[in-house]
Amino acid sequence: MVEKIKKTEAEWKEILTPEQFQVTRKHGTERAFTGEYNNNKADGIYRCVCCGNELFTADTKFDSGTGWPSFWQPVREDSVIYKTDVSFFMKRTEVLCGACDAHLGHVFDDGPKPTGKRYCMNSVALDFEPQK
């Protein structure tokens, strides 16, 4: 089970860059094809930039062509949580960190097998730990 992490807005601002804060705490989005991990092909694990929670492994990452790092499955069922997002005149499923509720991106039903899911994440919301 993931342990919940709570901080004030001021505490998050102290540890995050302005872009990380805007995306993860204010539900922003980085521009497509600009993120550090969009083309990353190294083996390792992707963690939440806010709290370090394990989110995705490199072996579930795929090139979706969307301009954001995409994965077909999280590390564990409780690594992420889901929330209905009705912003921008559309209904989507928002993906949040299961530990600290950081906004990570959205999940769609147009991904590859075996899950058919596309977890479309913001690079700035992720920290990558290369496999040793």
Give the model confidence (pLDDT) of 42-64 as tens digits: 999 999 999 999 999 999 999 99
Q: Using alpha carbons only, how large is the chain's radius of gyration in Å?
A: 14
| Average pLDDT, integer, range 15-42 | 96
Q: What confidence score (pLDDT) does residue 90 get?
A: 81
| Average pLDDT, integer, range 104-108 | 97
Please identify which of the residues 48, 50, 51, 120 carries the catalytic annotation: 120
Tell if the pTM clears 0.85, that is, is over it: yes
Choose the CATH number for 31-130 among 3.30.360.10, 3.30.70.1560, 2.170.150.20, 3.30.390.10. 2.170.150.20
Contact criterion met (CB below 8 Å) for 5 and 99: yes
Domain spans of the chain, in order of start: 31-130
Q: Is 51 a catalytic residue?
A: no
Q: What confidence score (pLDDT) does residue 81 get?
A: 97
